[in-house]
């Protein structure tokens, strides 16, 4: 396992500060002291990335696809060493990490398939018309093109799928960009293993030195330095609203502002209509709230329904189910402390009622689930309760009627998801509420839970601020590639000098929009 920073193919550990992995279940330090990057190493990584971009952006789609396929193969070749290290650093179960490794390699291969097909570039051709009156029409052809070096900030809660070789890195590389990853301090060993695998793949596939770099260190020192550098052309982030907003502001305060795609806070409101106040809904929600100790960005942290006996019975059943779930380890001591602090603040709020039985645990960094309830009027007087709490935590709001429920929905911030539990007839009876929810979210779910994000072409994982910094884009699925490319048009350009995707003969045999019609001709 390489403990130095990866500056392209060069290993460097000049600094005297280091990051060390910790087993959150025991608090024990793990082997490996991963050197935090100093300013000269950050600069060298940027230099190599910028130089490599000039070569990598001109690689063919097949060459880039082969690179992504090979990264997936190299990650799988690490075998159980990766699973064991990732479990040790995250406290997550082997089955979860094995599944996440599968998602990570599948994402890489999904993007490889996408760029091999080639149609994703949205090649658009408007042919010249010299006879058009009053002025001739020029030949104009448009395509999506890579942007340059991209910085990716690894996430804490997905040490593989949203980390070093996760969806952000895969989509940026697929788009033809070079990538610098700022490793997350919670899983430095996992990051090092995967970073080494990426560079092995790069060497095998004859990719330029600097196509990928991995830097250890703090977000304040390494991360902010990267964002401020003029050679960086875009960035991707998954984490807290506070950290995301700091980086987003820095990206926009530069002399040349850059796109900063941040996925941040979300409580994923769940609208439980009267017809769905039953055992099945309670079972689904209890499992979703506590999945992975509640450490998912799609955790259902806010449940909304109309007050009455049926809701009180539902709250009783949901709380009993949650109280029977054993405490689970959280990702880091810091995350667990933050969760427990929020629980204490909630207990001090006279309007919040704790519906779950108190389960004491002497185990360090373990979290117990909490279900709180509050009257709708009191919730409206304290909308800060709609802020995300990272952990197995959810609030049920008991609304007086439809009007109050609609008012609450209208005052919510942007969310990744919104869920409706109900029956078909409810779409007529509660149309206004569902329409209100739709305006606040990136994904609407019917009679299902928000946790479990399918990786596919139609997935939208992003929503109005602060769920994400730009609701027009997704961080999951094939369309995630659109974040790290920009359109460019060629006017009256010689055919032989055009990108292959735009040449008359269509040598890549891709779908193109020619004079308003999709064709492969």
Distance CA 443, CA 459 (A): 8
Q: Please report, for residues 176, 177, 276, 277, the alpha-carbon distance to residue 53 in angstroms, rounded to integers and kept in the order given.
A: 8, 6, 53, 55
260: CB partners within 8 A, 6+ apart: 227, 234, 235, 237, 247, 248, 251, 252, 469
Catalytically annotated residue among 86, 87, 297, 336: 297
Residues in contact with 192: Cβ distance below 8 Å, sequence separation at least 6, in sequence order: 1, 2, 3, 32, 34, 183, 214
Bridge partners for 150 per DSSP:
179, 234
Residue-wise burial string across 46-73, b where 16 or more C-beta atoms lie within 10 A, e elsewhere? bbbbbbbbeebbebebeebbbbbbbbbb
Number of H helices, E strands in the chain: 15, 23
The question of whether 456 is a catalytic residue gets the answer no
CB within 8 Å of 309: residues ≥ 6 apart? none
Residue 454 exposure: Cα atoms within 13 Å on the Cβ side: 8
Active site residue 297: yes
* List of residues 6+ apart from 44 with CB closer than 8 A: 7, 10, 12
Under a CB-based contact definition with an 8 Å cutoff, are residues 402 and 433 in contact?
yes
DSSP 492: S
Is the distance from CB of 418 to CB of 438 less than 8 angstroms?
A: yes
CB 457 within 8 A of CB 479: yes
Give the CB-side neighbour count of residue 516, counting CA atoms within 13 A. Answer: 0
Please choose, from the candidates 37, 36, 32, the residue with its C-alpha nearest in 3D space to the C-alpha of residue 81: 32
Q: Phi first, then psi: what are they for 350, rounded to 5°?
A: -65, -20
Our measurement of the distance from residue 421's CA atom to the centroid of its chain's CA atoms, rounded to an integer in Å, reads: 25
Largest Cα span, the chain? 83
Taking the C-alpha atoms of residue 39 and residue 299, their distance in angstroms, rounded to an integer, is 37
Residue 159 sits at φ, ψ, to 5 deg, of: -65, -10
Task: Tell me the C-alpha distance between 131 and 114, whole Å.
Answer: 39
User: Catalytic residue positions?
Assistant: 263, 297
């Amino acid at each position: 396992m390489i403990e130095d920073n990866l500056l392209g193919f060069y290993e460097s550990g000049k600094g005297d500060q280091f990051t060390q992995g910790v087993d959150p279940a025991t608090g024990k330090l793990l082997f490996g002291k991963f050197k935090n990057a100093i300013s000269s190493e950050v600069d060298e990584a940027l230099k190599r990335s910028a130089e490599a971009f000039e070569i990598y952006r001109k690689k063919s789609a097949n060459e880039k696809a082969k690179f992504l396929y090979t990264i997936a193969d190299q990650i799988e070749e690490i075998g159980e060493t990766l699973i064991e290290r990732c479990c040790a650093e995250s406290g997550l179960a082997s089955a979860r990490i094995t599944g996440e490794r599968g998602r990570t390699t599948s994402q890489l291969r999904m993007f490889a398939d996408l760029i091999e097909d080639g149609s994703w570039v949205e090649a658009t051709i408007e042919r010249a018309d010299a006879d058009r009156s009053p002025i001739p029409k020029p030949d104009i052809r448009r395509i999506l093109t890579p942007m340059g070096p991209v910085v990716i900030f690894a996430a804490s809660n997905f040490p593989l799928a949203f980390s070093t070789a996760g969806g952000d890195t895969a989509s940026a590389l697929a788009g033809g960009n070079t990538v610098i990853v700022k490793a997350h301090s919670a899983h430095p060993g996992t990051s090092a293993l995967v970073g080494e695998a990426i560079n092995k793949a790069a060497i095998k596939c004859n990719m330029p030195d600097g196509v990928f770099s991995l830097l250890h260190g703090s977000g304040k020192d390494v991360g902010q330095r990267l964002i401020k550098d003029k050679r960086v052309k875009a960035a991707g982030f998954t984490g807290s609203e506070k950290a995301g907003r700091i980086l987003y502001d820095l990206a926009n305060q530069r002399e040349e502002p850059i796109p900063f795609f941040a996925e941040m806070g979300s409580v994923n409101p769940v609208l439980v209509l009267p017809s769905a106040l039953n055992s099945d809904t309670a079972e689904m929600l209890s499992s979703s709230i506590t999945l992975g100790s509640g450490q998912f960005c799609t955790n259902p942290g806010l449940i909304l329904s109309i007050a009455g006996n049926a809701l009180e019975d539902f709250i009783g059943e949901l709380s009993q189910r949650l109280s029977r779930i054993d405490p689970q380890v959280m990702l880091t001591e810091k995350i667990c402390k933050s969760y427990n602090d929020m629980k204490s603040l909630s207990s001090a709020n006279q309007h919040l009622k704790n519906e779950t039985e108190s389960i004491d645990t002497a185990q360090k960094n373990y979290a117990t689930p909490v279900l709180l309830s509050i009257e709708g009027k009191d919730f409206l007087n304290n909308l800060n309760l709609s802020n995300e709490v990272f952990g197995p935590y959810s609030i049920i709001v008991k609304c007086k009627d439809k009007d109050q429920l609609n008012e609450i929905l209208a005052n919510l911030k942007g969310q990744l998801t919104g869920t409706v539990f109900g029956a078909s007839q409810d779409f007529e009876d509660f149309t206004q509420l569902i329409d209100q929810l739709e305006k606040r979210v990136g994904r609407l779910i019917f009679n299902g839970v928000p946790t479990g994000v399918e990786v596919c072409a139609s997935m939208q994982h992003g929503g109005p601020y602060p769920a994400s910094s730009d609701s027009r884009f997704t961080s999951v699925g094939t369309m995630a590639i659109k974040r790290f490319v920009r359109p460019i048009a060629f006017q009256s350009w010689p055919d032989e000098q055009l990108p292959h995707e735009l040449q008359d003969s269509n040598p890549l045999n891709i779908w193109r929009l020619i004079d308003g019609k999709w064709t492969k001709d």
